[in-house]
Amino acid sequence: MKPAPFKYIAASSLDHALALKAEHGDEARFLAGGQSLIPAMNFRLARPSVLIDINGLRELAGVEHSEGAEIRVGALTRYQSLERDSRFLRDCPLFADALPHIAHPQIRNRGTIGGNLSHADPASELPAIAVAMQARMRIKSARGKREVAASEFFQGLLTTDIQSDEMLLEIALPAPTARTGTCFMEVARRRGDFALAGVAAIVTVDDHGRCSQARLALCGVGDGPVDASDAASSLVGQQRSGEAIEAVAAEVQDMIEPSGNVHATPGYQRHIAGVLTERALGAAFERAHDAA
């Protein structure tokens, strides 16, 4: 298949890109890595009449660390750059776990974090990580800027809070906290395939090894990333306990509504989600103790 006819425009600046988006609205799409957009266009699942190429906007790429505050990741930052940034992976170890699961090296060389999050594929790893980490999504249009919590940014299957004239500009991640352990795990048919189910877990412990905060998010088992942090909150105040973690996993299995697909039934996805929840929380607890 070949894409439907479209007009190509290379944006010369961020203001130029936003002005074009304001002019063309939903008929225009931003082209960054293109690893999801171009295949969709080739199958004519997406038919934008205008492609706005933003690859030249280098100010949208890169990672900025603010001591004790936040980590800012530009939307045009490619997976490959994050994989090679040792400081970023040290401060955001969930990404260190998850990035190798994303597709294949050729795709990670081109794909961008902003494109991934804006595409909002429910089986993708990064939306679940953004929700688990309580990331803030910074969005801009010709009208101005705004900020949205990741939990509110993802609104359903391939749907986000980005409006027709807006662009995801950067992602703000909280700075790492002491005595915190994280873990991301997933099950896929083959390495690089979309996850049948995936779990991102964050556990912080106090001086006595008791859980003081727990965050949990899943991918692949709903219309978007599933925030299961309410279920994980039952761990607060407890030492690491197999029974307590099993109870969280059971609650997660009850709350999710996987749709199933040609590779897995809803029941199998629910089972896998429970198993991964137990393993990821257990590993996050262990890493939190090691970091204490």
Structural domain spans, the chain: 7-53, 61-173, 180-291
Measuring CA to CA, which residue among 256, 254, 255, 247 is closest to residue 278? 247
- Please work out, in degrees rounded to the nearest 5, the angle formed at the alpha carbon of residue 205 by the alpha carbons of 269 and 289: 85
Which portions of the chain are predicted below pLDDT 70? Answer: none
Residue 39's alpha-carbon distances to 8, 17, 261, in angstroms, are: 16, 22, 20
Question: DSSP of 195-252, one letter per residue?
Answer: PSEEEEEEEEE-TTS-EEEEEEEEESSSSS-EE-HHHHGGGTT----HHHHHHHHHHH
> Quick one: pLDDT at residue 246?
98
pLDDT of residue 69: 84
Helix (H, G, I), strand (E, B) or coil at 11: coil
30 neighbors 17 (Cβ within 8 angstroms): yes
Q: What is the per-residue pLDDT for 94? A: 97
Task: Please list, residue by residue across 77-111, b when 16 or more beta carbons sit within 10 angstroms of its beta carbon and e when fewer do.
Answer: bbbbbbbebeebbebbbbbbbbbebbbeeeebebb
Q: What is the pLDDT of residue 1?
A: 73
Q: What is the pLDDT of residue 291?
A: 87
Q: Which CATH class is domain 180-291?
A: alpha beta
Q: Do 7-53 and 61-173 share a fold?
A: no
Nearest CA-CA partner of 284 in 221, 231, 227, 235? 235
Helix (H) or strand (E) holding 269: helix 266-291
Beta bridge partners of 172: 72, 136
136-141 and 167-174: which strand pairing? antiparallel
What pLDDT, on the 0 to 100 scale, is given for residue 200? 98
The CATH class of 61-173 is alpha beta
The CATH class, in words, for 7-53 is alpha beta
pLDDT in tens, 134-171: 999 999 999 999 999 999 999 999 999 999 999 999 99
The pLDDT score that the predictor gives to residue 121 is 96
Q: Which of 164, 118, 119, 158 lies closest to 141, judged by CA?
A: 164
C-alpha to C-alpha distance for 264 and 72, rounded to whole angstroms: 36
